[in-house]
Amino acid sequence: MGGVVRNRDGAFRPGVASEASDPRLTGRLSLAVNFNDYAALGGPQVFNEAFRIVNEEGAWQQMPTIGMNFADGTSSGEVGVLVGEGAYEGLIAVFSNVPNALTERWDLHGYIIDDELPPAPEPFVEE
């Protein structure tokens, strides 16, 4: 599709270290991302990303999550899921992420659960 910029296999470490009210979610933060940028067509940037947090006790790996940056500079934010590794095996962290462009950081709000995620619902089909 003309006017679409596709970027694949991007990875970086945000300039701000991971900070959290729960020390299990602190550590070295990295982000992998793929995106399609529709700005030349007056549209948004659609991305698929995954955070990873590593510390001395283990790691948290985000399941890939879709989000969007709109042409007006706002963001859809996202709801993500981090799966625990090492000492965090069996734990899941569910969070919302709202980028804060003014401070160049992400504000993460969430909860660590010792349970499984609810299963995906079956599609609703009217008869």
- Global confidence as pTM: 0.75
Confidence grade of residue 75 (pLDDT, cut at 50, 70, 90)? confident
Let me know if residue 41 belongs to a domain. yes
Domain membership of residue 61 (yes or no) is: yes
Does 43 fall in a domain? Answer: yes
- Confirm whether 44 is domain-assigned: yes
pLDDT higher than 90, residue 85: yes
Is 72 within a domain? yes
With respect to residue 123, please indicate whether it lies within any of the assigned structural domains. no
Tell me how many domains the chain contains.
1
Convert the pLDDT of each residue in 15-63 to its tens digit.
555 567 788 988 888 888 898 988 878 888 888 888 898 999 999 999 9
Tokens matching residue 22: 């729960």
Contact predicate 76/85, CB 8 Å: no
Please tell me the distance from the alpha carbon of residue 88 to that of residue 76, in angstroms, as a whole number: 29
For residue 21, the enclosing domain spans: 5-113
Q: Is 126 domain-assigned?
A: no
Please tell me the distance from the alpha carbon of residue 83 to that of residue 66, in angstroms, as a whole number: 17
Question: Looking at the domain assignment, is residue 91 inside a domain?
Answer: yes
Q: Residue 102 in 3-state DSSP?
A: coil
Give residue 44's pLDDT: 87
